Chain A
Amino acid sequence: MLKIKNLQVKAEGKHILKGVNLEVKPGEVHSIMGPNGSGKSTLAQVLAGREGYEILEGEVWYKGMNLLELDPEERAREGVFLAFQYPVEIPGVANTYFLRAALNAQRKHRGEKEIDAGDFLRLVKEKATLLKMDTGLLSRPVNEGFSGGEKKRNEIFHMAVLEPTLGILDETDSGLDIDAMKVVADGVNSLRDSERAFVVVTHYQRLLDYIVPDFVHVLSDGKIVKSGDKSLALELEKTGYSWASNN
């Protein structure tokens, strides 16, 4: 589904990704771990199409398409979803209004009809219940005045409604207490199936107790220096990142 080949990226004059290789197949959950500044978030942002990054070398293929040539909205409509590390506040735009516009843009792209108001309401209610969202947050402007935890939960709520093919979670666990993390993990797990894949970027191992990955990769200084199964995350937890990059 996703194939990253020798991806090298520069931002603000700094060489950040120095040759990332990664293949993600349908149904898989990959976790990218690494110390601060290793390039984890850059990788997530580049996959979603954020401007301001210079691609020096490499390719990214997604469902047979050259992902780097697509606009961010085209990527989203093709099923790529980024849950932001720092979700953005959008004053004046109601959460569900925005979500419906996004969903309809994606449906239109797939040649489907716009979602019926009643169906949308049911969908939103179902997903909000799943994520134990305070229903007040649905009609409020997107993320405005939300607590840190509410913002992260709202990201996963958006993901649950939009049902992407490839979900990229950028440090969704940071700032969440253990209960909130379990709820977020439930949301992600409910979407797991043989067609869908996830890339979970995280600094800590604890989220992976709840979203159990098939593969764990350690990113260090812009390169994947080690890959393994979920036990790698536990090892990292015990011994720290220096161990991984030194071996």
Chain B
Amino acid sequence: MLENRCEPRGEKLQDFASRINFQREESYPDWLNDVKAGASDLLKSSGFPHSKIENWEFSQVRKVLAESYDGADTEAETDKIRKILDRSLLRTGLPALVFVNGSLALEYSDTEQLPEGVKIVSAASMQTRPDQFGWTAGGSLVKGATAAFSGLNLLLMKDPALLFIEPGTKAEQEVQLVFISIGNREHRLITNPAVYVYGGVSSEASIIETHVGSEKGKYLSNSTTVISAGEGCRLNHVKIISENEQGYHFSSIKADVARQAFFKTHTIVQSGKIVRNEVETKLKGEGAAAELFGLYLTDGNRQVENSTVIEHLKPECTSREHYKGILNDESRAVFRGRIVVAEDAQKTDSRQKNDNLLLSDSARINSKPQLEIYADDVSCTHGATVGQLEDEKIFYLQSRGISRQEAGALLIKAFGNEIISGIDSEKIRLVLEEELLSILARN
């Protein structure tokens, strides 16, 4: 575990950012200290986002920033962790690497069971800076407030999971990463899960991230996933967000997709009080393809935001995007889908859809597609729908003997399953289908 002296101590994130005086950590290689120092400078100069700036409208960032935070250096109790592991994902039967409050917990992890050709490396052990992840001595960030949470992650990350998939690898078994946040009672805890994946030329792998929390306690899981898909590589990625009732999750997924490479990501939000997912995908080589899927289930007064950007930078790239939401009670969801087609990106083929099912009159969805097209020979479509359960369908199911309640559950499940069924990993798919049912049964 990397030690990290500069962490918030019962203070607001803004106050922490303006007071930090980054101190180089002796146990880190120089490049890592440089990256963190750069992030610290950026945070200090740019501050945090607010709901007046683009892509943060309707967000609840003000609430998040109004609270006081503690760094994640507390030791968690073993039985607590075992309990969390039992009730969450280990049901998939897949080996997993387990991170507790951002630190790799070897005692719960199967480090021996990684598929052949997949290596996990500790950042601190690397003498030179890996050049696949966009890290520079100045941090790696686009300047500005919108990058604040990514900057915070860089500064505070403890054991980033660096996964290298060797060229030509065909990993049949999924790599499962589990991030557990153990919440605090007084100040909210901030944890900073970090996943970096490099897919070598013509390699194939699936990475499953699950984010869960302790049953009680407040925390903000501020996670970053950086993907670099090399030429002809196929990467499947699933991020399951299953935070506790008070838990916040801010997620940033950044993916660069090279020539003829394919990247597919599913963001499944099952729970959490305030959740914001950013996905930024750059199609950087000819014939690259990206598929972005999302399913968000909200109830109570929870809020889930999905903010996505797909940039078509080269010709003949394709993108598919489909996000679906099931909203109950007073909950709220936001979908932003920005597609940028650069001048050079002729023969772009892009489809975007956002469908929402409102189960209550007080639930709200803001859906905002945004196309910026600078090339002339492209095919881009987008569409958004908001609907309720249709009486006609319910009656049809009832008329065959299915109760009204079951009919509703069947229709909602079918709505959500359209997204889940696109996940390649059968084990994950089955667990998610089952969980979807139990979440629906709760409502």
Contacts and interface: CB of A to CB of B under 8 A. Distances in A.
Interface of A: 48-51, 71-73, 75-77, 81-82, 84, 87-88, 90-93, 98-99, 101-103, 105-106, 109, 141, 158, 162
B80 interface: no
Given A84-B396, A93-B410, A73 B404 contact: yes
Interface residues of B, number: 22
Nearest to B410: A93
Interface string B70-112: 0000000000000000000000000000000000000000000
Given A98-B410, A101-B406, 11 more contacts: A71-B403, A72-B404, A73-B398, A73-B399, A73-B407, A76-B398, A88-B396, A92-B418, A102-B397, A102-B400, A106-B401
Contacts of A73: 398-399, 401-404, 407
A103 B391 CA distance: 21
B411 A109 contact: no
Contacts of A99: 400
B414 A93 contact: yes
A49 B396 contact: no
Contacts of B58: none
Contacts of B410: 93, 98, 101
B392 A88 contact: yes
Contact of A109 (B392, B399, B401, B417): B401
A49 B399 contact: yes
Contacts of B374: none
Which of A49, A91, A106 counts the most B-chain CB atoms under 10 A from its CB?
Answer: A91
A162 B60 CA distance: 51
Interface of B: 391-393, 395-404, 406-407, 410-411, 413-415, 417-418
Nearest to B391: A51
Nearest to A141: B414
Contacts of A81: 399-400
Contact of B393 (A50, A51, A88, A109): A88
Contacts of B411: 90, 92-93
Contacts of B404: 71-73
25 contacts: A49-B395, A51-B395, A72-B395, A72-B398, A72-B404, A73-B398, A73-B399, A73-B402, A73-B404, A76-B401, A77-B401, A87-B396, A88-B393, A90-B414, A91-B414, A92-B411, A92-B414, A98-B400, A98-B402, A101-B406, A102-B402, A105-B403, A109-B401, A158-B400, A162-B400
Nearest to A84: B396
B417 A101 contact: no
Contacts of A51: 391, 395
Nearest to B417: A92
Q: 9 smallest A-B Cβ distances: which pairs?
A: A92-B414, A76-B401, A102-B400, A72-B398, A88-B396, A105-B401, A106-B401, A73-B398, A102-B401
Nearest to B416: A92
A48 B406 CA distance: 18
Contacts of A141: 414
B204 to A, nearest CB: 28
B393 A71 contact: no
Contact of B415 (A72, A92, A109): A92
Contact of B399 (A48, A91, A92, A103): A48
Contacts of B418: 91-92
Contacts of A72: 395, 398-399, 404
